């Protein structure tokens, strides 16, 4: 039996009987002390194999992709770049030649308002002569001047309102077109052939039908427009030569 320690003078003595308190025991001492944790060893548990030194799947895939890209660059892109480099001068010359052709092939147009009077006939003739000479189509002046005179004369005699003369030439279509617009919606009169072949006037649409490539009339919001077209093969051959050289 262990004797209880004596209390100091002036202090109360506390009893531990009947309480749940137990003496404190360190976890690292006594019969139930836990063993210390074991640290992992830096040495490998088994010798390395070939699988440990193999690259991961992602690295293998990226290496294969890089190899394929290099092959495409060396086998396709670089030869193509060298080919384009050799042909760059030829391509530039063709593009410049095509641009010059397109500038020349943009068609020429002139439009002039005429009064509904007999003075409109000589005015229309002057416009035809001036513009066709400026366009390099002087060989077509005579027939175009004659047919425009007939259309303007018909408009002055059988229609009303101001007249509009429009002339255009397209070297691509090889066509010279003339339009005469008036304010009358009625169809142009059907002229009969002249009694004598040497008559200079009164032939009207019969003459237009005989000498033009084609002609016609259409209704517009302001009235009607009568037109005719002439082929210009001489000019077209020069344009055709230019197109063949391109």
Cα distances (Å, whole numbers) of residue 45 to 35, 37, 39, 143: 23, 19, 14, 110
Phi and psi for 109 in degrees, rounded to 5? -140, 140
Lowest mean pLDDT among 11-20, 46-55, 73-82, 83-92: 11-20
Give tens-digit pLDDT for 98-138.
Answer: 777 666 666 788 999 998 888 999 999 999 999 999 988 99
The residues facing 245 across adjacent strands are none
Computed over its alpha carbons, how large is the radius of gyration of the chain?
53
For helices 78-104 and 233-245, give the axis angle rounded to 10 degrees: 170
Q: What does the alpha-carbon distance between residue 121 and residue 159 come to, in Å, rounded to a whole number?
A: 14
Q: Residue 95: CB partners within 8 Å, gap ≥ 6?
A: none
| pTM greater than the 0.85 cutoff | no
* Rounded (to 5) percent helix, strand, coil in the chain: 45, 15, 40
Average pLDDT over residues 219-225: 88
The pLDDT of residue 66 is 75
Residue 141 has pLDDT above 80, yes or no: yes
The pLDDT of residue 83 is 73
The domains of the chain are located at: 56-104, 108-245
Lowest mean pLDDT among 24-28, 131-135, 165-169: 24-28
Give tens-digit pLDDT for 37-67.
Answer: 666 655 555 565 555 555 567 777 777 777 7
Q: Span 108-245: which CATH code?
A: 3.30.565.10
Q: What does the alpha-carbon distance between residue 14 and residue 20 come to, in Å, rounded to a whole number?
A: 14
Average pLDDT over residues 223-237: 79
Q: What does the alpha-carbon distance between residue 93 and residue 180 come to, in Å, rounded to a whole number?
A: 42
Give tens-digit pLDDT for 13-23.
Answer: 555 455 454 55
The pLDDT of residue 92 is 78
Q: What does the alpha-carbon distance between residue 228 and residue 68 come to, in Å, rounded to a whole number?
A: 66
Q: Would you call 124 exposed, middle or buried from its count of C-beta atoms within 10 A (0-12, 13-18, 19+)?
A: buried
Residue 216 has pLDDT above 70, yes or no: yes
């Amino acid at each position: 039996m262990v004797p209880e320690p004596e209390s100091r003078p002036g202090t109360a003595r506390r009893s531990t009987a009947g309480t749940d308190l137990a003496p404190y025991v360190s976890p690292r001492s006594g019969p139930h002390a836990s063993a210390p944790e074991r640290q992992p060893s830096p040495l490998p548990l088994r010798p390395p194999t070939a699988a440990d030194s193999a690259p991961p799947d992602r690295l293998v895939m990226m290496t294969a992709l890089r190899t394929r890209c290099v092959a495409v660059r060396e086998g396709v892109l670089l030869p193509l770049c060298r080919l384009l480099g050799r042909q760059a001068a030829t391509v530039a010359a063709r593009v410049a030649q095509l641009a010059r052709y397109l500038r020349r092939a943009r068609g020429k147009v002139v439009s002039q308002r005429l009064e509904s009077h007999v003075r409109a006939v000589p005015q229309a003739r002057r416009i035809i002569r001036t513009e066709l000479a400026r366009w390099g189509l002087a060989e077509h002046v005579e027939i175009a001047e004659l047919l425009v005179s007939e259309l303007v004369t018909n408009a002055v005699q059988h229609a009303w309102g101001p007249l509009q003369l429009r002339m255009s030439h397209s070297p691509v279509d090889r066509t010279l077109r003339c339009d005469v617009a008036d304010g009358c919606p009625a169809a142009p009169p059907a002229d009969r052939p002249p009694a004598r072949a040497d008559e200079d006037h009164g032939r009207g649409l019969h003459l237009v039908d005989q000498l033009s490539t084609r002609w016609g009339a259409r209704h517009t919001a302001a009235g009607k427009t009568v037109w005719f077209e002439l082929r210009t093969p001489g000019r077209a051959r020069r344009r055709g030569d230019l197109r063949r050289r391109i």
